[in-house]
Structure 1
Amino acid sequence: MQITMIGIDHSKASIAYRELFSFTKTGAMDAMKRIKKEFELSGCVLLSTCNRTELWVSSGKKSHISPYDMLCEVKEIDRTQYGEFFVERKGEAAVDHLLKLACGLNSKIFGEDQIISQVREALALSRKCGCEDMVLEKVFQTAIAAAKKVKSTVKLTVVDQSTAYKGVQLLKEQLGSLKDIRCLIIGNGQMGKLVANTLTSQGADVTMTLRKRIHGQEEHGSIIPEHCKMLPYEERYSALEQSQVVISATLSPHFTLKRDEVEGLLFEEKKRIWLDLAVPRDIDPCINGLCGVSIYDIDTMGQTDCNSANDLQVKKAVDILEEYAQGIARWFAFRKQVPQIKHITELAAEDTRCRLGDPIESLVLDQKEEQSLTKAIEAATERSVGKLLYGLRDTLSPDLWQICMNALEEAAEKDTLKTGSKKDRYEGKRK
């Protein structure tokens, strides 16, 4: 398998290092286009989430260059500083990792559901900017299909399955009941809405910020979760003093809350919990401890691990993933034989053309009609023979199928009416 990935995630790197290599959607697309072009790759996919960044590449003219070096060059980061936080995987090891990742086995919150959407979105972005190829398309599509199968047949976890829910659990541990607690949510993305819905279900008084370019000037035209109030993003600081809980979850590359803007505010003497659910971080870490504010990010919120209650379910999931892994392995093995199948079908087509040479010449056809008929006969022969060869693959074991292909190729080369010139050219290609 000519496929390699490099990744940094929560298991080896803190958020301070992960955010250095994070990407927005637009940034990911720009990076993929640049990486594919500059390093002459067949394809690449960039997966960037709160807990990980992974660059997947398939073979190219500069395949000797590590994806880590590619990533550092795009980010303009010194490659000698952060290598220890990355893991590189190739071939089957890379595929095995993606299969487990897509169904949540490698997630910070074990068994989470969001990662499958993130894997699907990464592939969609790669397609959108023309950076996917057949190999990466197959591997990612298989991982997505495997994750769906696992999710529909296996109960992977009996614990929290979303960062949003886990954040609310932390708030309940720190503050007790959340009923009527004033909460400010900065960010109207997927995570912000998940948090808002979870908080309102607990009876919290929730306000959510929206940018003008999203909601326009009309409040009633805004899309906000039910039971939430709307606040223009530009007025977020004015709501901090009355908010005991602040949660920021945006895709902004800059701080949404800065220390110098917070220092002059007058806070009530209450325990204040601020959750930063973004990568890169939204809230200036220097605010922690200021005016009684305690900041938790996605690392300090804690990690949910697989426990003994999941052991049997994990085994079921791994068995399912192994079936899909074998399917990918067969696909890669088959791809190697495509040139041989093409060779056999073309030999058969040429042999058919030679055998029908006299009957075709006996027809009353002009040169253009004769050429068109000949091409149609050759194409039909190739499709017919190809159908038989591909059909054998579905009924024979890989080893026996390969023996049959070798025998058929040898027979096609010997039992033919054509001259040897084309045969020699094909043999030269295979060598």
Structure 2
Amino acid sequence: MVIMMSGLDYSLAPIELREQLSFTKAQVGALVERIRSEVEGVLGCVLLSTCNRTELYLSCEKGRELQPGEVLCAAVGLSYAPFARAFVTRRGSDAARHLMEVSGGLQSQIWGEDQILSQVKGAIAIAREEGAADPVLETLFRNAVAAGKEIKTKVRLTGVATSAAARAVEVLRGQMGSLVGKKALVIGNGEMGRLSATLLREAGCAVTVTLRTYRHGETVVPAGCGVVPYDDRLSAMEGMDIVLSATTSPHYTVTAEQVSQLGCRPSYVVDLAMPRDVDAAVGDLPEVRLYNVDTLGAERHQGEVPAEALDILDDYMGRFYEWNNYRKCLPAIEDLKTAITERVLTYPEVEEDLDAEDLIELAVGRAVDLLTGGLKEHISPEDLERCVGKIKVHTAVKSREREGSHDRKRIPFPAIC
């Protein structure tokens, strides 16, 4: 089995390129199912799609060499050539380490951002629902999410905005001096739209959010915000100081023609969507300033990653590869069980008339002798004492359970010391 990934992000791919490979949750689900079932040699498939990055993770049969970027482009019917210079491909531990850094916000345009962790969790959840996630990617993503959570809770990465919405409010405040008393329309009531509306409200804006009529009763309106039907968004823009759009619509929510028809145009239009919600030509209109997730900008992190974060990454990388090494050993462990059983059965004592207790003691004793003799260069008295201690604890627990329930079934022997 080989882990590999290809990804394009803000560092090499401009927004015009990234939005061509930006997908909704439904599209992600369909793509991972198709790739897993139709691409020869693919054992598992997870697709991470955010505003700033699109990354395809594959686990493949040993010896199977694929370019995940080419696989993704082929799955959506696009030529790979325009994206070739933007994709970065990683394999093995490089791919695993990259995912853990992504989960911790260490690869984000807004360094240490908050949303990426839930996006990584969402990606593996979708793959699981579609039957596209194999045990290797499940375990890798689980460790990456755990590493990201620990970094978030234990390491202070930044003191600046940690989301695109927070960055937008930061930029608007810098441009307008103060947002107190300003009027803002937020188009979209998803996670990013609600966050944007909340932050604008906290900054002093009078905020109105759009709601699609068929979703009334299913959405949560941020406290203190007014509402307007999505279909009435054009008339609602009239007289607004700020219009911010953050939807998953495949079409523009705001066009240059619509804004040009307004008697009183907004001074600032912010587009936090991918693909973009706002026609780029809006920025060419007089007295209108347009920002998107790239032009909002964010100060690139120039310093070193804190040592605490590196230690966390090393820890979870170690956990993943310990698990992966044990997984690789499972076939050999089964062979070992068979070999030891056959070897024990050749001992002369087995032919004697032994009762069950004597036979168990003989089998266990010979098995332990064979194992410890073969591993004598790799074990120590301390290792064996820890193993004995864990077995005794396990035995005591099972004995108490058996006494409590009078269950006379066989007590399972611990699989790993």
1:233 counterpart letter in structure 2: Y
2:324 to 311, 314, 332: 332
Q: TM-score, normalised by structure 1?
A: 0.79
Partner of 1:63: helix, strand, or coil? coil
Q: Is the 8 A contact 2:36 2:45 kept in 1?
A: yes
The residue aligned with 1:25 is: 25
Corresponding position: 1:173 with 2:168: no
User: Which residue number corresponds to residue 419 of structure 1?
Assistant: none
State the partner residue of 1:228: 225
Matched with 1:76 is: 77
Q: Tell me the equivalent position of 2:315.
A: 323
Secondary structure of 2:169's counterpart equals helix
Q: Quick one: distance in 2 between partners of 1:11 and 1:335?
A: 36
Q: How far does the alpha carbon of each residue in 1:335-357 deviate from its partner, in whole angstroms, 9 at most, with x for none?
A: 33221111011233456678899
Query: For 1:23-422, what aligned pairs fall within 5 Å after superposition?
Result: 23-40=23-40, 41-60=42-61, 63-215=64-216, 223-267=220-264, 272-308=267-303, 311=304, 314-349=306-341
Q: 1:5 to 1:358 in 2, by over 3 A?
A: same
Alpha-carbon spacing, 1:62–1:18, altered in 2? closer, same or farther (3 Å): farther
Moved more, 2-11 or 176-185: 176-185
Matched residues in 1 for 2:67 and 2:219: separation? Answer: 45
Partner in structure 1 of residue 406 of structure 2: none
In the TM superposition, residue 161 of structure 1 has moved relative to its aligned partner by 1.1
Q: Which digits, 9 at most, give the CA deviation of each residue in 1:76-127, with x for residues without a partner? A: 1111221000100000111111111110111001111211111111011110
| 1:176 CA displacement | 1.7
| Post-superposition offset of 1:69 | 1.2
Q: Distance in 1 between matches of 2:378 and 2:161?
A: 45
Cα distance in 2 for residues equivalent to 1:353 and 1:272: 86
| Structure 1 residue 49: Cα displacement | 0.5
- Measured against aligned partners, the alpha-carbon deviations of 1:301-335 in whole angstroms (never above 9, x if no partner) come to 01222255xx4x62221122112222223333333
Could you tell me which amino acid in structure 1 is paired with residue 34 of structure 2? R
Amino acid at match of 1:326: G
Distance 2:299 2:379 in 1: 43
Checking the alignment, whether the CA contact within 8 Å between 2:344 and 2:367 is kept in structure 1 is: no
List gaps (5 residues or longer) in structure 1: 364-372, 402-431
Contact 1:267 1:291 in 2 (8 A): no
Measured on the aligned residues, the alpha-carbon RMSD in Å equals 3.1
In the other structure, the counterpart of 1:2 is: 2
Paired with 1:353 and 1:183, the residues of 2 have a C-alpha distance of 81
Amino acid of the residue matched to residue 202 of structure 1? A
Q: How much has 1:264 moved relative to structure 2?
A: 2.3
Q: How far did residue 290 of structure 1 move?
A: 1.6
Q: Cα distance, 1:202 vs. partner?
A: 1.5
Letter of the 1:225 counterpart? P
Q: Using the alignment, how far apart are the partners of 1:197 and 1:302 within structure 2?
A: 21
SS at match of 2:248: coil
Superposed displacement of residue 27, structure 1: 0.2
Cα distance in 2, alignment partners of residues 262 and 113 from structure 1: 32
Same amino acid, percent of matched pairs: 39
SS at match of 2:81: coil
Q: In structure 2, do the counterparts of structure 1 residues 341 and 151 end up closer, same or farther at CA, with 3 Å as the change threshold?
A: same
Determine the C-alpha separation between the residues in 1 that align with 2:371 and 2:3. 27
**1:263 positional shift:** 2.8
Partner amino acid, structure 1, of 2:330: V
Residue type at the aligned position of 2:225: C
TM-fit CA distance, 1:389:
7.4
- Give the whole-Å Cα distance in 1 for the aligned partners of 2:238 and 2:69: 44
Q: 1:359 to 1:30 in 2, by over 3 A?
A: farther
How far does the alpha carbon of each residue in 1:40-62 deviate from its partner, in whole angstroms, 9 at most, with x for none? Answer: 31000000001000000001489
The answer to whether the 8 Å contact 1:109/1:160 transfers is yes
CA distance in 2, matches of 1:397, 1:284: 67
Where 1:108 maps in the other structure, the secondary structure is: coil
Q: Which amino acid aligns with 2:246?
A: A
